[in-house]
Amino acid sequence: MHKADQFIANLDRIIDTMGDVLIRLSRIMLMLGFMTGTVAVLSSQFQLASIPGFNLAWSIGQAIAIDGLFFGVWMEYHRVPWQHGKRSLKCWYFFIGSLLGIVAALVNNVLSYQELNRISSVSLAMVRLGISEAGFSYTRSTLVVLVAILIVTLPRARVEQTETVAVSPVTTLVPLPETEVIEERETKPLPTLKGYREQVKELLLQEPSITAIQIAERLSIGESTAKRHCADVRKELRIADTQSDTLVRDTDTLVSVG
């Protein structure tokens, strides 16, 4: 971010919080101003109002309380959104700001006329404007008291407190594709072609009437494989039987000739 933009952003944040600060500060200043005025009236024998330092301090306090409150109220009025639940608060700000605007208009009207016409005192400027000093005092005092009541009873906007939670880096676990768990079984090595043939031969020698389907079930092999081996083995056994018979006949012939 550019330095100028960062400065403006920081300034905006200060202005956004300034309204709330001025409203809270004005409550204190109004309270001190009322208490000081009461002390000055009740202790008239000390003539505090005629002391320049006291008059200056009281004026500064009133300026901060009233003028500062004027700007603070309108800042908050601008900041509060016009939505359900906050409309009454926005109307409250508008009413207080309007009363403060009347007070500011009265004071600035007199001071502006005094400066433009180079009048030496405020009272003389009020006389030329046709404003009664008693009427001006009553009007301003009444408005200030009314504003003080309103600002003290001003409903505060609820501040949503958010807990700051230290966020630790989260490791995202990527699920692995599900794999079928294959149970380890004791598997015997598949017999070779010669092994199947020998097993079929053994079964045929033990049970000559056994069928190829039965052989396939016992050896857990395909029926076509069992039929092929069964046919080959039976053919082999027939040849062996023929050769055996021939050998027996030849032996008998030799024996008879001898």
pLDDT of 252 > 60? The answer is no
Determine the Cα–Cα distance for residues 206 and 76; give it in Å rounded to an integer: 107
Mean pLDDT value across residues 169-193: 49
pLDDT of the residue at 181: 45
HSE-up of residue 18 (Cα within 13 Å, Cβ side): 13
pLDDT of 246 > 70? The answer is no
Q: Please, what's the largest Cα pairwise distance for the chain?
A: 178
Q: Position 239: which residue type?
A: I
pLDDT of 39 > 80? The answer is yes
pLDDT of 66 > 80? The answer is yes
What is the tally of helices (H) and strands (E) in the chain? 9, 0
Q: Position 198: which residue type?
A: E
- pLDDT band of 112, cuts 50, 70, 90: very high
Mean per-residue pLDDT over the chain, rounded:
78
pLDDT of the residue at 98: 93
Mean pLDDT value across residues 72-76: 89
CA distances from 225 to 193, 196, 213 (A): 10, 9, 10
What is the DSSP track for 65-102? Answer: IIIHHHHHHHHHHHHS--STTTHHHHHHHHHHHHHHHH
How remote is the C-alpha of 213 from its chain's centroid? 71
pLDDT of 8 > 70? The answer is yes
Residue with tokens 């003539």: 47
Domains of the chain, start order: 3-152 (no CATH), 193-257 (1.10.10)
